[in-house]
Amino acid sequence: MVSAQRATIQDVAVLSGLSICTVSRALRNLPNVSEKAHRKVAEAAEKLGYKASPAASRLAGGNTGSVAIIAPTATAWFFAQTVEAAEEMFADAGHDTVLISLRNKAEVRSRVFGDLAALRQRVDGVLLLNVELDAAEIGALAASGLAVASVGMSGVPWDNVGIDDEQAAWEATSHLLEMGHWDLAVLAGRDLGGHSVHTSRRRLDGFSRALAEHDLEVHPDLVISAGSSIEDGRRAMTELIANRALPSAVFAECDETAFGALMALREHGLSAPKDVSVIGIDDHPMSWFLGLSTVSQPVADQGAFAANLLCERLQNPEQDHAPTNHFLDTKLIERKTTRRKRRTDKNHD
Amino acid sequence: MVSAQRATIQDVAVLSGLSICTVSRALRNLPNVSEKAHRKVAEAAEKLGYKASPAASRLAGGNTGSVAIIAPTATAWFFAQTVEAAEEMFADAGHDTVLISLRNKAEVRSRVFGDLAALRQRVDGVLLLNVELDAAEIGALAASGLAVASVGMSGVPWDNVGIDDEQAAWEATSHLLEMGHWDLAVLAGRDLGGHSVHTSRRRLDGFSRALAEHDLEVHPDLVISAGSSIEDGRRAMTELIANRALPSAVFAECDETAFGALMALREHGLSAPKDVSVIGIDDHPMSWFLGLSTVSQPVADQGAFAANLLCERLQNPEQDHAPTNHFLDTKLIERKTTRRKRRTDKNHD
DNA sequence: GCTAAAATTGTAAGCGCTTACAATCGCTCG
DNA sequence: CGAGCGATTGTAAGCGCTTACAATTTTAGC
């Protein structure tokens, strides 16, 4: 039953015949509340449709009832999927979700991480999506009193879920290498003054390692700082086509970048795999359709999983068990945009 | 300058040599504050890096400093774009953004709209994205004390931004009709117990009108309730292929649905426009690549524009100027998935 | 059955803000 | 030059919750 006016803890106290204080404790499952009291409070609260005011709760030292999701951007396919999955988890756990998009801007980034106390005022926890943090920031965050969990950020002092980005990039790159391609370009993420998207850096690492294992060097001209949108990929590939000898294969940091690359090729009368092999990471719903070779990863799962870990941390704040790290599986999917390098292929040397 | 501990209004009061009350008024630009006092307060607040505690403010009857964005889903391309654009606007105006995805579930929907008082506890305003509301809900929302603005919901007692969905659908459908297609299917939005996505309904209306203008009737079997994702479109088209005579043209409610339809065609050895003409609405970044004919609409603009209107309403709460409605331009883009119906085309009669 | 310790419950003081309402101040006007 | 008024500022009472700490009840031990 819901009354016209919002019920207060006072109402619950009167109805249950207990003091406000006991009600408060019962509602939050704190110790030192008799079972009987607990039951009476639960009943009364239920009957009144009582929900604690987040503002009052927070002001008095309690929780806000909301968590923030911080992502480099909210439009990219990966983030949209992750955010929605996490939001669902949070909503079901009774938390509001505050969305903070860094919009790939260093300024926004520092505004957010520069005042963690202010953030703590507004949310109880933070879910970080692929945000690159330096040691000081990690320390500050861990000490901020905020519960933290993340996606795509291994090696961090809180629970993390992701794929092994370095490995996934290595797989993709190795696939190209094994098909005889040795002049590889990479469409990497945008660099934000040392604070790129975390996964981007890891994937670049994997790319480099694969090359190194074949005694190849990463040619700086063939590392294009792209960003991760379709448009970014298109621009990067256009640049590649315009400014230098075309490599025989391209590793795109994510499928959307690869889509853009494919578009650019088409615009210049070229195509994959005829003129250049292309591979991405993600297995975006469109990839099958375009025949894009890629390394698949479970996306919504990562968001839901990490959100769930955060919820647990929120529920048992005192327990400080060691941070866990979870790598979900990826799989190389060979489709039609990659093929063995042929003698007849153009050879730009 | 930022102190280690969060500054309170008390600190500002002391530093500026004024009372808390005056500081509070000055900070919120209320009348009856001398210019001198205003300046002193601003200086002190600046020096302390003071930001009012949203919890305390809300509790005392003020504002929360955040707004909610409510969308049917957050993963669809249109919503991801709109949400990010709106979030940017809100962030720049100093508001936090609470993301609420209805996840196409009636249950979530009623949980949100069933307790507007609870919502008002947490946010100052709401940005509705294509949410279908009945008269009672519209009334309740208007009376809730929440500032409201929307995208894609004309005829509503608050500011709205959108395209003329009925018209856009009419254009797309008419395009098909004028090319000689008369057996048309529509891949429409999902119906949520009378509460579909608002735009879906309007687009279906436009489809119907175009048919009616050509003395054609809407065949119920050719109205597929799809949803608006790629997967939804794929499923819908598959159903169409499996269960009935294939229509010669298909109008998909949005480009992603159309992508899915194209995929399903390919899976069955069919293609557009050879076997069936396909058109969508959106002009998604991939549409050019796929040659998808469509009706383009400015997407991020709608989100930013509506968010901006909401911010203005939040800033001048007292003024009750009439709600405005803004239609942004759309444009038919004819590409390669639609063509004139030919004698040689299969004719399913 | 009585007392000390443990378990439960209540009292009251804020948390940092907003907002009637009261108090002051600076002028204008007779 | 003092009353009267509007403009400005201050006082103080909450908003609905959490949380020491005090009060009370229960349990256990002898």
Q: Within 10 Å of residue A159's Cβ, how many Cβ atoms?
A: 23
Same domain, yes or no, for A29 and A112? Answer: no
B-facing residues of A in 38-77 (CB < 8 A) are 51, 53-59, 64-66, 69, 73-75
pLDDT at residue B196 tops 90: no
CA neighbor of A22 nearest in space, from A45, A47, A48, A54: A45
Residue in A51, A74, A108 nearest the CB of B80 = A74
Share the mean pLDDT of chain B.
Answer: 92
B-facing residues of A in 238-297 (CB < 8 A) are 259, 262-263, 266, 285-286, 288-289
Residues in a beta bridge with A131: A197
Q: CB–CB of A151/A303 below 8 Å?
A: yes
State, as a whole number of angstroms, the distance between the CA of A154 and the C1' of D27: 51
Say which residue the tokens 């009623």 belong to. B110
Q: How far is Cα B87 from Cα B311, in angstroms, rounded to an integer?
A: 11
- The pLDDT score that the predictor gives to residue A1 is 45
Residues of chain B contacting residue A103, judged by C-beta atoms under 8 Å apart = 84, 88
Find the mean pLDDT for residues A23-44.
92
Beta strands in chain A (DSSP E): 66-71, 96-101, 125-129, 147-151, 159-162, 184-188, 223-225, 249-252, 277-282, 293-296, 325-327, 331-333
Q: CB–CB of A22/A7 below 8 Å?
A: no
On chain C, which bases lie within 7 A of the protein's CB atoms?
7-12, 14-20
From B64's Cα to the closest Cα of chain A, the distance in A is 8
Same domain, yes or no, for B287 and B175? Answer: yes
Q: What is the pTM of this model?
A: 0.93
Q: CB–CB of A300/A81 below 8 Å?
A: yes
For residue B34, is it within any domain? yes
pLDDT at residue A347 tops 90: no
Say which residue the tokens 């970048």 belong to. A257
Find the mean pLDDT for residues A16-41.
92
Q: How many CB pairs under 8 A join A and B?
A: 124
Q: Dig out the tokens for B184 from the structure.
A: 């048309």
* Residue with more model confidence, B196 or A169: A169
Please state the length of chain B.
349
Find the mean pLDDT for residues B117-145.
94
Q: Dig out the tokens for A217 from the structure.
A: 């060097």
Please state the length of chain A.
349
Residues of chain B contacting residue A65, judged by C-beta atoms under 8 Å apart = 122
C-alpha distances in angstroms, B31 versus B24, B34, B317?
Answer: 11, 9, 15
Find the mean pLDDT for residues A288-294.
96
Q: Out of A204-218, B137-151, B185-199, B260-274, pick the least confident.
A: B185-199
Same domain, yes or no, for A28 and A101? Answer: no
Residues of chain B contacting residue A81, judged by C-beta atoms under 8 Å apart = 75
For residue B346, is it within any domain? no
Q: CB–CB of A71/A129 below 8 Å?
A: yes
SS3 A325: strand
CA neighbor of B198 nearest in space, from B70, B309, B85, B332: B70
A122 contacts B54? CB cut-off 8 A: yes
State, as a whole number of angstroms, the distance between the CA of B21 and the C1' of D5: 23
Same domain, yes or no, for A256 and A201? Answer: yes
**Interstrand relation of B331-333 and B293-296 (parallel, antiparallel or unpaired):** antiparallel
On chain D, which bases lie within 7 A of the protein's CB atoms?
7-12, 14-20
Interface probe with B: pick from A144, A268, A286, A290, most Cβ of B within 10 Å: A286
C-alpha distances in angstroms, B258 versus A18, A23, B52, B276?
Answer: 60, 55, 48, 12
Same domain, yes or no, for B154 and B172? Answer: no
Is B16 near strand C, with its CB below 7 A from some atom of it?
A: no
- The pLDDT score that the predictor gives to residue A346 is 52
Residue in B65, B230, B289 nearest the CB of A266 = B289
- The pLDDT score that the predictor gives to residue A348 is 47
**Nearest chain B Cα to A62, which residue?**
B55
Residues of chain B contacting residue A6, judged by C-beta atoms under 8 Å apart = 117-118, 121
CA angle, A98 then A100 then A106, to 5°: 160
State, as a whole number of angstroms, the distance between the CA of A10 and the C1' of C8: 20
From B336's Cα to the closest Cα of chain A, the distance in A is 15
Q: How far is Cα A30 from Cα A19, in angstroms, rounded to an integer?
A: 15
Interface probe with B: pick from A99, A232, A262, A266, most Cβ of B within 10 Å: A99
Residues of chain B contacting residue A64, judged by C-beta atoms under 8 Å apart = 55
- Left, alpha or beta for A227 (phi > 0: left; psi -120 to 50: alpha)? left
Q: Which domain range does residue A219 map to? A: 165-296
A122 contacts B96? CB cut-off 8 A: yes
Residue in A2, A51, A263 nearest the CB of B289 = A263
For A203-208, which contacts have Cβ atoms below 8 Å and span 24 or more sequence positions?
A203/A165, A203/A166, A203/A168, A203/A169, A203/A253, A203/A281, A204/A169, A204/A253, A205/A166, A205/A169, A206/A165, A206/A166, A206/A167, A206/A168, A206/A169, A206/A170, A206/A171, A206/A172, A206/A173, A207/A169, A207/A170, A207/A172, A207/A173, A207/A251
Share the mean pLDDT of chain A.
Answer: 92
What's the one-letter identity of residue A97? Answer: T
- The pLDDT score that the predictor gives to residue B193 is 63
Helices A77-92/A300-315 angle, 10° precision: 40
- Left, alpha or beta for B72 (phi > 0: left; psi -120 to 50: alpha)? alpha
From A58's Cα to the closest Cα of chain B, the distance in A is 6
Q: Which strand (E) or helix (H) includes residue A109?
A: helix A106-113
Q: How far is Cα A123 from Cα A96, in angstroms, rounded to an integer?
A: 9
For residue B102, is it within any domain? yes
Q: Which 8-state DSSP code applies to residue A259? A: H
- Please spell the DSSP secondary structure of B4-28, one letter per residue: SSPP-HHHHHHHHTS-HHHHHHHHT
Same domain, yes or no, for B40 and B78? Answer: no
Rg (CA), chain A: 25
pLDDT at residue B32 tops 90: no
Q: Dig out the tokens for B220 from the structure.
A: 């119920």
Residues in a beta bridge with B225: B188
For residue B255, is it within any domain? yes
Q: How far is Cα B231 from Cα B235, in angstroms, rounded to an integer?
A: 6
Q: What is the pLDDT of residues B222-245, one digit of tens each?
A: 899 888 899 999 999 999 999 867
Q: What backbone phi and psi angles, to 5 degrees, belong to A97?
A: -110, 120
Same domain, yes or no, for A246 and A187? Answer: yes
Same domain, yes or no, for B106 and B196? Answer: no
pLDDT category at B1 given cuts 50, 70, 90 is very low
pLDDT category at B195 given cuts 50, 70, 90 is low
C-alpha distances in angstroms, B80 versus A236, A307, B98, B160, B250?
Answer: 23, 19, 14, 18, 25
Same domain, yes or no, for A169 and A280? Answer: yes
What's the one-letter identity of residue A18? Answer: L
Is B6 near strand C, with its CB below 7 A from some atom of it?
A: yes
Find the mean pLDDT for residues B1-22.
84
A100 contacts B88? CB cut-off 8 A: no
Domain containing B44 — which CATH number? 1.10.260.40
Say which residue the tokens 């799962």 belong to. A301
Q: How far is Cα A255 from Cα A263, in angstroms, rounded to an integer?
A: 12
Q: Dig out the tokens for B219 from the structure.
A: 């065949």
State, as a whole number of angstroms, the distance between the CA of B38 and the C1' of C12: 37
Same domain, yes or no, for A257 and A287? Answer: yes
Interface probe with A: pick from B51, B53, B99, most Cβ of A within 10 Å: B99
What's the one-letter identity of residue A233? Answer: G
Q: CB–CB of B326/B162 below 8 Å?
A: yes
For A54-62, which contacts have Cβ atoms below 8 Å and span 24 or more sequence positions?
A54/A96, A54/B55, A54/B121, A54/B122, A55/B54, A55/B55, A55/B56, A55/B57, A55/B58, A55/B59, A55/B64, A55/B121, A56/B55, A56/B59, A57/B55, A58/A121, A58/B55, A59/B53, A59/B55, A59/B56, A59/B59, A62/A28
Q: CB–CB of B160/B182 below 8 Å?
A: no
Residues of chain A contacting residue B122, judged by C-beta atoms under 8 Å apart = 54, 65-66, 96
SS3 B317: coil
- The pLDDT score that the predictor gives to residue B348 is 47
| Residue A145 contacts B, CB cutoff 8 Å | no
Furthest-apart CA atoms within chain A: distance in Å? 88
For residue A285, is it within any domain? yes
For residue B246, is it within any domain? yes
Interface probe with A: pick from B289, B290, B336, B337, most Cβ of A within 10 Å: B289
- Please spell the DSSP secondary structure of B54-86, one letter per residue: HHHHHHTTS--SEEEEEES-SSSHHHHHHHHHH
Residues of chain A contacting residue B286, judged by C-beta atoms under 8 Å apart = 230, 259, 286
B54 contacts A59? CB cut-off 8 A: no
Is A33 near strand C, with its CB below 7 A from some atom of it?
A: yes
Q: What is the pLDDT of residues B83-111, one digit of tens each?
A: 999 999 999 999 999 999 999 898 999 99
Residues of chain B contacting residue A53, judged by C-beta atoms under 8 Å apart = 59, 121
**Nearest chain B Cα to A65, which residue?**
B122
Q: Which strand (E) or helix (H) includes residue B99?
A: strand B96-101
pLDDT at residue B283 tops 90: yes
- The pLDDT score that the predictor gives to residue B244 is 65
Interface probe with A: pick from B1, B92, B121, B335, most Cβ of A within 10 Å: B121
Same domain, yes or no, for B43 and B131? Answer: no
For residue A341, is it within any domain? no
Judged by C1' against the alpha carbon of A28, the nearest nucleotide is D18
State, as a whole number of angstroms, the distance between the CA of B126 and the C1' of D10: 36
Q: What is the pLDDT of residues A307-345, one digit of tens each?
A: 999 999 998 876 667 999 999 999 999 999 999 987 655
Based on the structure, what is the number of domains in chain A? 3
For residue A2, is it within any domain? no
Q: Within 10 Å of residue B46's Cβ, how many Cβ atoms?
A: 11
**Nearest chain B Cα to A92, which residue?**
B108
pLDDT category at A97 given cuts 50, 70, 90 is very high
Same domain, yes or no, for B148 and B198? Answer: no
Q: How far is Cα B288 from Cα B208, in angstroms, rounded to an integer?
A: 27
Q: Residues 6 or more apart from B188 whose CB is under 8 A from it?
A: B200, B203, B204, B207, B223, B224, B225, B226, B253
Residues of chain B contacting residue A109, judged by C-beta atoms under 8 Å apart = none
Domain containing B244 — which CATH number? 3.40.50.2300
